[in-house]
Amino acid sequence: MRCRWCDTKYAWAQDGGDECEIHEIVQRVEQWQCHHVVITGGEPMVSRELPELTKAIKDIGKHITVETAGIVFVPDLSCDLMSISPKLSNSTPTDHKQAAEHQMVRLNLSVLQKLIDSYDYQLKFVVDSEADLPEIAEVLSKLSGVDRDKVMLMPQAARRDELLAKSPMVAELCKRTGFAFCPRLHILLWNALRGT
């Protein structure tokens, strides 16, 4: 998607990660004393191996959250929570060519609706400013059956200082709208440090 404010731009490069077989990923997961596993990206829903991966992780007793922009629908995933982050216009890259490509794919209402209808879900909107609220309201108005208790607002931030600066504004918007505040714990804990 090449979002303007992406907090994992290093993953855009061909060598941005390690190639692993599913059994190797499961072995890595088993090394940690955790109950919850979050499958994130980029966009994990574009991987043909996602159904097999989620089943293998579910088979070892983990609670699975899949983080997605909501641009691709995959049926029957072993998924306990679909964490959907629809991309608002505030995500558009500054590069002209990337911006045109981004605009074509960033929001797919029919896919969003299928995900909401098929999985336990949460909707997380990245908020850059109060000016994003009308667009969030517009997206929600075009979807049916959305549980407003499952809508979250999170500050646009890639670093801890940005998160701390924008959190009070987003918290105030949450108080006004009744949406939940999403704290972006990974940024608070690890700042911009690349994960392993």
Asked if residue 185 belongs to a domain, the reply is yes
Q: Which two tokens stand for residue 190?
A: 């690890």
pLDDT of residue 160: 92
The Cα 125–Cα 104 span in angstroms is 19
pLDDT for 110 beyond 90: yes
pTM reported for the whole predicted model? 0.89
Measured over the CA atoms of residue 124, residue 126, residue 130 and residue 132, the dihedral's sign is negative
Q: Which domain holds residue 76?
A: 21-190
Residue 83, strand partner residues: 67, 122
74 belongs to a structural domain: yes
Using a pLDDT cut of 70, give the percent of the chain over it: 85
- Alpha-carbon distance of 92 to 98, in angstroms, equals 8
Domain presence at residue 14: no
**Could you write out the DSSP letters of every residue in 17-46?**
S----HHHHHHHHHTS--SEEEE-SS-GGG
Q: Which residues pair with 82 in a beta bridge?
A: 66, 121
CATH of the domain at 178: 3.20.20.70
The mean predicted confidence, pLDDT, of the chain is 89
> Is residue 157 included in any domain, yes or no?
yes
pLDDT at 19: 84
Q: Residue 38 domain-assigned?
A: yes
Give the span between the Cα atoms of 175 and 163, in whole angstroms: 18
Q: Is residue 13 in some structural domain?
A: no
- Where residue 61 falls (left for φ over 0; alpha for ψ -120 to 50; beta otherwise) is left
Give a yes or no: residue 83 inside a domain. Answer: yes
**Domain count of the chain?**
1
- Domain annotation covers residue 3: no
